Amino acid sequence: MKRLFLLMILSVTSVLCLNAQTKSLHQLQQEFVDLRCGMFIHFNMPTFFNEDWPDPDAAPELFNPVRMDCKQWAKAAKSANMTYGCLTTKHHSGFCIWDTKTTDYSVMSSPFKRDVVKEYADAFRAEGMKVMLYYSILDTHARLRPKCITPQHIEMIKEQLRELLTNYGEITALIIDGWDAPWSRIFYDDVPFEDIYRLVKSIQPNCLVMDLNAAKYPAEALFYTDIKSYEQGAGQHISKDTNRLPALSCLPLQQNWFWKESFPTTPVKSPAQMVNDNIIPMGKSYCNFILNVAPNRDGLMDANALKALKEIGKLWKNDGRVATVPEADAPIISSNIAKYQPAEGTWSSDYAIMDFANDDDFGTCWNSNPEVKVPWYSVTFEREKPFNMVVITDRNNDRLQEYRLEYRTGGTWNLLYEGKAPTGLRVKIHRFDTVWGDAVRMTVLNSNGTTSIAEFGVYCERR
């Protein structure tokens, strides 16, 4: 009987695990876009400083929102017909607002001593809304900064994410910040993106991984994120006419992300503008809109913000899906082993030499001289390495028409691909079975104008 009972338990567990993983990434992306609009909640140590970048060594005693009521936040979001919330569990100065075992720099060391993440998650679920979490990779309190990252830092990140994804129920999306941004200067190689991505999926397979700092990457493919993000305040604006990727656009209702002393007496952004310029048109362009509302130092939302949210709810009703998200290539999540490696190519001017095609900058290009009839470009590694993907980012749409891809092993060139470009868009993604080689070469057979390559990437994905 014990054996039979054990087999039954294992069978049920297997079915539950299988059910948990039945949704494809495309289905999850569609469901995210169908949520239409949600509430970003920037609430953390900066709330108590009147600025968004506080002293990273500020005493935990400063965090004491004595009247905090997450039910008020949830009801406010519901009044605007929002479908989810997203809370800043840890911002760039490293203060954790959940019961973490990884650091003493947390809400449990403050006079408040309440798990804000739990109360938030419970309140939003009680109103029938989804729960998302924001997490910063940059952690200035832990000295997790550029050129200072240790294996212990990476393990701390992993353990904090394990806590957040294990102890608070189903998390629809993890929105990550402070990674591969010009101001954070922590690259995807410093804290390996693929390791973190696969950790999240191993704990919660249906949790979308979203990096807010993918602005430098082209809008035609998903680089290091399941959802393409656009922070309007940083000048990032989605093209409502040409976007074909599942996307997120964010904006604060108030003047800043975190609460400021002037907020209660300063007008918030127009509810009509939020609806007519953001929620409605973005939904038609496969984009979800997340509106930030910052609680004050008491842990409550100000009256002017609550009024604006109710007005949004009067102007707009969430009618669900308004556009079917096109299928996209799987996200690129592994490290580019061609980055900064020795490159060669046909004749070009000094201002557009071959090194510009693997400099991790999509704003620079290698341009083959127009006199060259059959342009080619290659990148060489210090030894033979495994790889299974090549990504070519054209300078313009529809420039590369036809080309050949080869790899070199044992001094011999072998064919990877020859034919027409798989898409007329800028980013051409080629996935194939893993091969080993010490060089990769592209030969252009047909080009609509001068060959101009913004980035040439080589990757070895774990599959």
List, for residues 6-59, the tens digit of each pLDDT value.
Answer: 444 444 443 344 345 579 999 999 999 999 999 999 999 999 999 899 999 999
pLDDT in tens, 102-121: 999 999 999 999 999 999 99
Cα 65 from Cα 81, distance rounded (Å): 26
CA atoms within 13 A on the CB side of 176: 29
User: What pLDDT shows up at residue 351?
Assistant: 84
SS3 217: coil
Instruction: Output the CA torsion sign for 7, 10, 12, 14.
Output: negative
User: What pLDDT shows up at residue 100?
Assistant: 98
Residue 388's closest CA among 463, 299, 292? 463
- Cβ proximity of 416 and 432 under 8 Å: yes
User: What pLDDT shows up at residue 398?
Assistant: 86
SS3 426: coil
State both tokens at 169.
């129920």
Cα angle: 326, vertex 329, 332; to 5 degrees: 135
Residues 6 or more apart in contact with residue 48 via CB below 8 angstroms: 54, 58, 62, 63, 64, 297
User: What pLDDT shows up at residue 193?
Assistant: 97
User: What pLDDT shows up at residue 95?
Assistant: 98
Cα 79 from Cα 353, distance rounded (Å): 56
Q: What is the pTM of this model?
A: 0.93
HEC assignment per residue over 246-283: CEEEEEECCCCCCCCCCHHHCCCCCHHHHHHHHHHHHH
Q: Which domains does the chain have, with CATH numbers?
A: 25-315 (3.20.20.80), 343-459 (2.60.120.260)
User: What pLDDT shows up at residue 20?
Assistant: 53
- pLDDT below 70 — which residues of the chain? 1-21
Sheet containing strand 287-292, edge to edge, reads 208-211, 173-177, 130-136, 84-90, 37-41, 287-292, 247-252, 228-231
- Cβ proximity of 209 and 200 under 8 Å: yes
Residue 149's closest CA among 118, 111, 192, 200? 192
From residue 278, how far is each of 117, 170, 223, 309 by CA, in Å? 28, 27, 24, 14
